[in-house]
């Protein structure tokens, strides 16, 4: 375990905001994880588990506790079951799977982050989500100080949610995840963006590799690399609607996507229609091609982000009657549980 002191959170997160963290512990084995929590307990400090930093926002005052980072890597496969260590970069997992011609996660290509974070918010994109293929996770339970295996049905997955970021937030540290994939292809109809790409480019390869290439191209065109242009990926969650709400929205000619995970309106469309496309707000640029993304061009303060966020939320509500909700998690001194 590597122990670092007074590390700027802005250097650990892709939005590039945040003051110093008192301690940053890098764990390379499951035993390191137990030791990291023991370290925090010894000094009576709160903990925060941080992955790649692409879906996390720091505050100016920093964090007066212990940030624990997962550095455990490795992928093993047997009969379509992949066991992935939590510190493995997620897109490496997708690349591994499609090389084996396994379907189930190819539409999740190019999502920045670590494998251990995937089940926390049930990552999803282009019609797939991690809940479709995940069977179990290995965790360290910081409450009971034991290692456990949690099955999928214990995680209570829903849109961008699991027990890991709701009822049991800050309790479990994900050591590894297990996915069950299969040979074959995604079934049509595909997500709207994929269908449009297929039509425009006359694509015919719908194998896992083919879909990965399509999704990678779509994302490269629409979404800036957070390492090149500081951002937190999709900043706002999409709006999910009941069947009655979806029908009412369609009657207003709003673009409603009806899929297996429910009815939704892309929040990026709402933000664009509210007049924010390409605009600079308090140092944050609303991305031209995907308005869900806020790019930090010149902001130095969390207060700048707060002002930009509130301005967007208020105008979208005034125009459409929908409240936007932020997707990235925030590192705050008052929130984490010991």
pLDDT, tens digit, 9 for 90 and up, residues 279-301: 999 999 999 999 999 999 999 99
Query: What pLDDT sits at residue 257?
Result: 86
List active site positions: 160, 234, 327
Query: What pLDDT sits at residue 336?
Result: 47
Query: What pLDDT sits at residue 245?
Result: 94
CA pair distance 11, 19, nearest whole angstrom: 9
Which spans in 87-230 are helix H? 90-99, 192-201, 208-222
Domains of the chain are 2-72 (3.30.43.10), 75-183 (3.30.465.10), 228-330 (3.90.78.10)
- Return the biggest CA–CA distance within the chain: 61
Give the pair of three-digit tokens for residue 15.
């939005």
Query: What pLDDT sits at residue 338?
Result: 39
Length of the chain: 338
Query: What pLDDT sits at residue 337?
Result: 46
CA pair distance 132, 148, nearest whole angstrom: 22
Cβ-contact 285, 278 below 8 angstroms = yes
146: helix, strand or coil: strand
Query: What pLDDT sits at residue 79?
Result: 85
List all residues 6 or more positions away from 196 whose beta carbon is below 8 Å from its beta carbon: none
- Name residues of the chain where pLDDT drops below 50: 336-338
Q: What is the dihedral of CA 266, 268, 272, 274, to 10 degrees?
A: 70
Which spans in the chain are helix H? 30-42, 90-99, 192-201, 208-222, 243-251, 267-273, 302-320
Query: What pLDDT sits at residue 59?
Result: 97
Cβ-contact 330, 56 below 8 angstroms = yes
Model's pTM, two decimal places? 0.90
List all residues 6 or more positions away from 115 whose beta carbon is below 8 Å from its beta carbon: 84, 85, 86, 87, 88, 89, 90, 93, 176, 177
Alpha-carbon distance values, 288 to 8, 32, 154, 199, 277 (Å): 30, 43, 40, 23, 5
CA pair distance 132, 128, nearest whole angstrom: 7
């Amino acid at each position: 375990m590597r122990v670092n002191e007074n590390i700027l959170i802005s250097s650990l997160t892709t939005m590039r905001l945040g003051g110093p963290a008192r301690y940053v512990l890098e764990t390379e084995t499951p035993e390191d994880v137990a030791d990291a929590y023991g370290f925090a307990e010894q000094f009576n400090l709160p903990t925060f588990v941080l992955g790649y930093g692409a879906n996390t926002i720091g505050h100016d005052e920093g964090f007066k506790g212990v940030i624990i980072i997962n550095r455990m890597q490795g992928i093993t496969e047997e009969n379509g079951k992949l066991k992935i260590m939590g510190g493995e970069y997620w897109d490496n997992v997708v690349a591994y799977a499609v090389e084996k011609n396994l379907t189930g996660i190819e539409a999740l290509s190019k999502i920045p982050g670590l494998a251990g974070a995937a089940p926390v918010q049930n990552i999803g994109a282009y019609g797939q989500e991690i809940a479709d293929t995940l069977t179990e996770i290995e965790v360290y339970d910081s409450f009971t100080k034991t290692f456990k295996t949690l099955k999928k049905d214990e995680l209570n997955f829903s849109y961008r949610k699991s027990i890991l970021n709701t009822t049991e937030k800050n309790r479990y540290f994900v050591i590894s995840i297990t996915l069950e994939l299969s040979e074959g292809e995604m079934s049509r109809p595909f997500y709207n963006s994929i269908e449009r790409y297929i039509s425009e480019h006359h694509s015919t390869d719908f194998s896992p590799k083919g879909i990965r290439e399509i999704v990678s191209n779509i994302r490269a065109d629409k979404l800036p690399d957070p390492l090149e242009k500081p951002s937190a990926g999709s900043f706002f969650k999409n709006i999910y609607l009941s069947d009655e709400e979806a029908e009412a929205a369609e009657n207003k000619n709003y673009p409603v996507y009806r899929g297996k995970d429910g009815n939704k309106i892309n929040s990026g469309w709402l933000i664009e229609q509210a007049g924010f496309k390409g605009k600079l707000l308090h140092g944050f640029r609303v991305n031209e091609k995907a308005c869900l993304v806020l790019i930090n061009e010149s902001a130095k303060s969390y207060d700048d982000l707060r002002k930009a966020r509130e301005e967007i939320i208020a105008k979208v509500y005034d125009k459409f009657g929908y409240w936007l909700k932020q997707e990235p998690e925030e590192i705050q001194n008052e929130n984490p549980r010991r």
